[in-house]
Structure 1
Amino acid sequence: MNPVEDGPKRTVTGRVVKVLVHRRTDRGMRLQEYASRCVRRGEVHELVTTDQGDTAPGARIDRVGFLGFAELEHGGVIDRGDTVTVDGVEIGTVLGFDGCHLPNHLNILVRARAPLTGSDLGLGPEAPVVFRQGPPVERR
């Protein structure tokens, strides 16, 4: 059995609708067990950066920086390992997802060199957000 399940997919794009400027060291987010999530055009999700790298289901993510909320321009699939670019700057890769605010929105956790905020990057509303397919990852 082949544990790698990724075939080619479309790039998911969106736009920042609200910039966030804070960070925390005690957030307590929990990674969902899913390595991918389907998203719909028009949905708004939160982008959260972390320097933590544990992808185990339920892993606690405390060190975070909040980039902002992004509205997606079309449906697609976001996978763990996808490259995330915001306003032309590569931020990092999708670590996983936290669903503590569902059904309102999903927290998309991005592994970065440090917990970055929207103000760290000088983001503004309408900044482009891109989720580009990364290398195949093994599914748990």
Structure 2
Amino acid sequence: METLRYSAKRHVEGQLVYVLHTRTDERWMHLEDVPSRALLAGEIHELALSINDDLKPTAGVRDVVYIGFFEITVAGIADVGDEVWAGDVHLGDLAGFDFVHMPNHLNVVLSTNQAATGAEMGFDVGTSIRFRTPEGSVLPNVGPRDA
């Protein structure tokens, strides 16, 4: 596993405020060339999943299923590669961000091996959303700085 670029971080948390039951083939979102985004408390963003291969910043995202919109309750930095959870369900790993609807909201796109919508997974308003450092990640070997 790749060494992380940070030595510690607070994880983003939120709650679903709007659960979707839609999917779109040939959507062609564009993942921006950014490795992370600050997600601020009170912001609302959209969660989308894709089973397309090779999802990463700068990639096109052909087909998507939608989980819903979530409100940030604990601000932090979301990094590409973070695991994203809804309750106790691992939705997928953060692949990137599509800015097409900014400044209204970000499309937060996850790479996954499942193609179920938020409604199909039984989620409801209030379902917790959590971004987490991937299991087994390697923190950089940093020591105290010399004075």
TM-score after normalising by structure 1: 0.89
Aligned to 2:35: 35
Letter in 1 for 2:62: D
Aligned to 1:109: 109
Aligned to 1:120: 120
Letter in 2 for 1:122: G
Structure with bigger gyration radius:
2
Structure 1 residue 6: deviation in Å? Answer: 2.5
Letter in 2 for 1:117: T
Aligned to 2:141: none
Contact 1:52–1:63 (8 Å) recurs in 2: yes
Question: 1-side partners of 2:80 and 2:57: how far apart?
Answer: 12
Matched pairs, number: 134
Aligned to 2:24: 24
Letter in 1 for 2:96: G
Aligned to 1:91: 91
Residue deviations 1:106-137, cap 9 Å, x none? 0100111123211121010000000011236x
Change (3 A) 1:51 1:12: same
Contact 2:80–2:96 (8 Å) recurs in 1: yes
Structure 1: gaps (5+ residues): none
Q: Where does structure 1 differ by over 6 angstroms across 4 or more consecutive aligned residues?
A: none
Residue deviations 1:30-58, cap 9 Å, x none? 01000100110000000000012424543
Question: Which SS does the other structure have where 1:14 is aligned?
Answer: strand
Matches within 5 A, 1:47-58: 47-58=47-58
Contact 1:50–1:116 (8 Å) recurs in 2: no
Structure 1 residue 25: deviation in Å? Answer: 1.3
Letter in 1 for 2:105: H
Question: 1-side partners of 2:128 and 2:81: how far apart?
Answer: 19
Contact 1:52–1:111 (8 Å) recurs in 2: yes
